[in-house]
Amino acid sequence: MADHQEGLTNVDACESMDDSLMQKKEWHLGDWVEMYDKYPSSKAKGGPSEQLVKYVKELLPSEPAHVLVPLCGKSPDLRWLYERGNTVVGLEGVEKPVREFYEMYPDLQHSVEDLPFGKLFKSSDGRLQVYVCDVTQVPSEALGKFDAVFDWGAYTAIVEGDRQRYVDVVMATMKEDSRYFLEVCHDGPPEATGIPNSVSFRTLKLEFGPSWRLRVLETLDISEDWEVESFFNSYFLITPKNSQ
């Protein structure tokens, strides 16, 4: 699975997948807190997601821009986008990886502000911010409007009952000509447990609604990686139908 949480160490695959936490069908916020507490984070800064680099011109035809990165964790994508001159805003439910991210980059000279709905970590120049909060409840007006959304594993990590609310919150931050990069796992075994969630194209279309155009940029067969008969990873570019 394409995964935001590149800050996690490479825990032995058998050990991690045998863990009862990894076998849970739905992950709630407390489960993510447990994961970050259970598995130590790497101190390595890492590099940006391969597909972000590959499709950055599809997502951001013009830079600098305002970019939203949901469930960002301590992803190197934040810094990479920031260094290109963009204003980057992350959303994350767990404070630990966000705190570790800013500790890795002391040059950001960040501050922390308490908010009614969570906390805001912010670089001294204001161009790299991360809200720590319930991502399905954050007021969209607090976030502002964005030229682009980079969703790397966030949508498929949200529990099914909260996913529509998550989509509504994120889409409310988009401008009339915004672009949304979405990573989705699909056509997995119906009996599978744990993350990532397998989301059908039909569900994807229904949850994002008829006003948006979904274009597949790339599809990868990840069945062998997960040792199952069928499992795929697709990358979408979502744009308003009324945009050029």
The 3-class SS string of 113-140 reads EEECCEEEEECCCCCEEEEEECCCCCCH
Q: Is the pLDDT of residue 43 over 70?
A: no
Mean per-residue pLDDT over the chain, rounded: 87
Q: Is the pLDDT of residue 41 over 90?
A: no
Confidence grade of residue 134 (pLDDT, cut at 50, 70, 90): very high
First to last CA, the chain: 31
Alpha-carbon torsion angle 25, 15, 35, 31, nearest 10 = 20
DSSP reduced 3-state for 202: helix
Cβ proximity of 152 and 49 under 8 Å: yes
Phi (first) and psi of residue 136, to 5 degrees: -90, -5
Cβ proximity of 171 and 164 under 8 Å: no
* pLDDT for position 7: 37
* pLDDT for position 141: 87
Average pLDDT over residues 139-144: 89
Q: pLDDT over 70 for what percent of the chain?
A: 83
Range from 21-30, 86-95, 130-139 carrying the lowest mean pLDDT: 21-30
- Reported as a single tens digit per residue, the pLDDT across 48-82 is 999 999 999 999 999 999 999 999 999 999 999 99
- Reported as a single tens digit per residue, the pLDDT across 73-99 is 999 999 999 999 999 999 999 999 999
Average pLDDT over residues 210-226: 94
* pLDDT for position 143: 93
Whether pTM exceeds 0.95: no
DSSP reduced 3-state for 112: strand
Cα 130–203–5 angle (5° rounding)? 30
Confidence grade of residue 217 (pLDDT, cut at 50, 70, 90): very high
Sign of CA dihedral 175, 112, 109, 97: negative
* pLDDT for position 22: 61
* pLDDT for position 110: 97
Q: Is the pLDDT of residue 19 over 50?
A: yes
* pLDDT for position 122: 98
* pLDDT for position 37: 74
Average pLDDT over residues 158-167: 92
Residue, of 196 and 175, whose pLDDT is higher: 175
